[in-house]
Amino acid sequence: MHAAVITSFDAPPAYGEHPDPVATGEHDMVVEVLAAGLHHLTRAKANGTHYSSSGTFPLVPGVDGVVRDGSGRLRYAAMDDTDLGTFAERTVIDARRSVLLPDNIDPVRIAAAMNPGMASWVAMRRRIDFREGGRVLVLGATGSAGSMAIQIAKRFGAAQVVAAGRDTTRFKELEALGADRTITFDEARVAADVDVVLDFVWGEPAAGAMLPMLTARADRSAPLTWIQIGSMAGPTAPVPSSALRAARLQILGSGIGSVSPRDFIAELPELAEAVTEGALDIRARAVPLADIAQVWNERTNERLVFVP
């Protein structure tokens, strides 16, 4: 079969022949890959910058995808730690880490939306007790995961969603997706009284927004939960100690390890249903898997989806 293969952290994937997969575990099944998204997590695991990266080579990347099993049923599958991901014509999945999909779904759309959608969906469902009527700030709202977070927060009953980002040309689009207000990072002070921050950027932007927000809160004793989800602006943030004393701030993370695989999988069916019914919008572009080297480092507002 054909697959995209990485042989070192500093090399892009190369498309070529690869041995056929073999199911060895009790719950393993060999499946045909229909569509697999190029996510930030996929790149980070492949280049060694994600904390879950194994460093095992050769590596076929791909952390999830839409697949067809041996019975002809469509599934969305999330991959466990493996050196044979979904950027291949066929792969091996653990059936317990997959959910069945309707036959009439668009594989490219599902493959594009599930991973970025899962970021905020799982954070709000499994890391906090989010209540209807809460107010949310999405930090890094112009990216795929951030724009989906706006929609998901509204779906979960947020009374107000403030979207913060750098790309002001996308602000009108974010408002169409449900954002009640759009701001740049240095205007975060106006979102001082939110209840939850969904942070996809971290780094200097998060640190720079944190203290002005906390000191501007009408009631500093009111809880503010800051959920660290992504680190597009840097892996570390110089958070001043005063931020932890000046207000009732709780900082926590959401991701692999802080949420159990069982909890991730439990949320997949409802998220897949929301994507399937068109309740969550995402930009997706299908790309032949053979072209992976040309687009691997491309930066775009679209979610690239490889089709073998």
CA atoms lying within 13 Å on the CB side of residue 177: 28
Distance from the Cα of residue 19 to its chain's centroid: 30
Q: What is the pLDDT of residue 296?
A: 94
Where residue 20 falls (left for φ over 0; alpha for ψ -120 to 50; beta otherwise) is beta
Chain centroid to CA 26: 29
Token duo for residue 306: 């490889």
Q: Indicate the pLDDT class of residue 134, thresholds 50, 70 and 90.
A: very high
Give the least confident one: 45-49, 143-147, 212-216, 300-304.
45-49
Residue range 2-114+260-307 forms a domain whose CATH class is: alpha beta
**213 pLDDT more than 80:** yes
Dihedral angle sign, alpha carbons of residues 47, 51, 54, 55: positive
- Give buried/exposed letters for 130-153 (b at 16+ CB in 10 A, else e): beeebbbbbbbbbbbbbbbbbbbb
Q: How many CB atoms lie within 10 A of CB 51?
A: 10
User: In degrees, to the nearest 5, what angle opens at C-alpha 300 toward C-alphas 295 and 303?
Assistant: 80
Average pLDDT of the segment spanning 130-153:
97
pLDDT tens, 242-255? Answer: 889 989 999 999 99
What pLDDT is recorded for position 80? 76
Identify the CA nearest to 6 among candidates 292, 286, 285.
292
Cβ-proximal residues to 171 (8 Å cutoff; 6+ apart), any chain: 163, 165, 179, 182
pLDDT digits (tens, 9 = 90+) for 184-208: 999 999 999 999 999 999 999 999 9
pLDDT at residue 274, as a whole number? 94
* pLDDT score recorded for residue 57: 82
> What percentage of the chain exceeds 90 in pLDDT?
83
Angstrom distances, CA of residue 1 to CA of 15, 17, 19, 91 = 11, 6, 6, 10
Separation between Cα atoms, residue 162 and residue 40, nearest integer Å = 23
Question: What does 226-253 look like in DSSP terms, one character per residue?
Answer: EEE---TT-S-----HHHHHHS-EEEEE
- What integer pLDDT is reported at residue 74 of this predicted model? 97
- The string of pLDDT tens digits covering residues 259-298 is 998 999 999 999 999 999 989 999 999 999 999 999 998 8
Range 18-26 average pLDDT = 94
| Res. 42: pLDDT tops 80 | yes
Peptide bond into 58 cis (omega under 30): yes
What's the pLDDT tens digit per position in 44-71? 888 888 777 776 789 999 999 999 999 9
Residues 6+ apart with CB under 8 A from 170: 142, 147, 301
Question: Computed from CA positions of residues 208, 251, 230, 128, in that sequence, does the dihedral angle turn out positive or negative?
Answer: negative
**Sheet strands (E) in the chain:** 2-5, 14-17, 28-37, 64-68, 74-78, 90-94, 98-100, 135-139, 160-164, 181-183, 196-199, 224-228, 249-253, 284-288, 303-307
pLDDT score of 45:
83
pLDDT at 31 over 80: yes
CATH superfamily label, 116-253: NAD(P)-binding Rossmann-like Domain (3.40.50.720)
How distant, in Å, are the alpha carbons of 141, 169, 189, 281 from that of 179? 9, 14, 17, 13
pLDDT in tens, 222-249: 999 999 999 989 999 999 898 899 899 9
- Between CA 164 and CA 186 the distance in angstroms is 9
Query: What is the reported pTM?
Result: 0.92
What pLDDT is attached to residue 82? 86
- Residues of the chain within CATH 3.40.50.720 domain(s) are 116-253
**Looking at residue 56, what is its pLDDT?**
78
Residue 101 predicted with pLDDT over 90: yes
**pLDDT category, 120, cuts 50, 70, 90?**
very high
- β-partners of residue 250 are 225
**184 DSSP β-pair partners:** none
pLDDT given for residue 246 in this prediction: 87
Q: Where in the chain is the domain with CATH 3.90.180.10?
A: 2-114+260-307
- Average pLDDT of the chain to the nearest whole number: 94
φ, ψ of residue 48 to 5 degrees: the values are 85, 5
H/E segment holding residue 174: helix 171-176
pLDDT at res. 222: 96
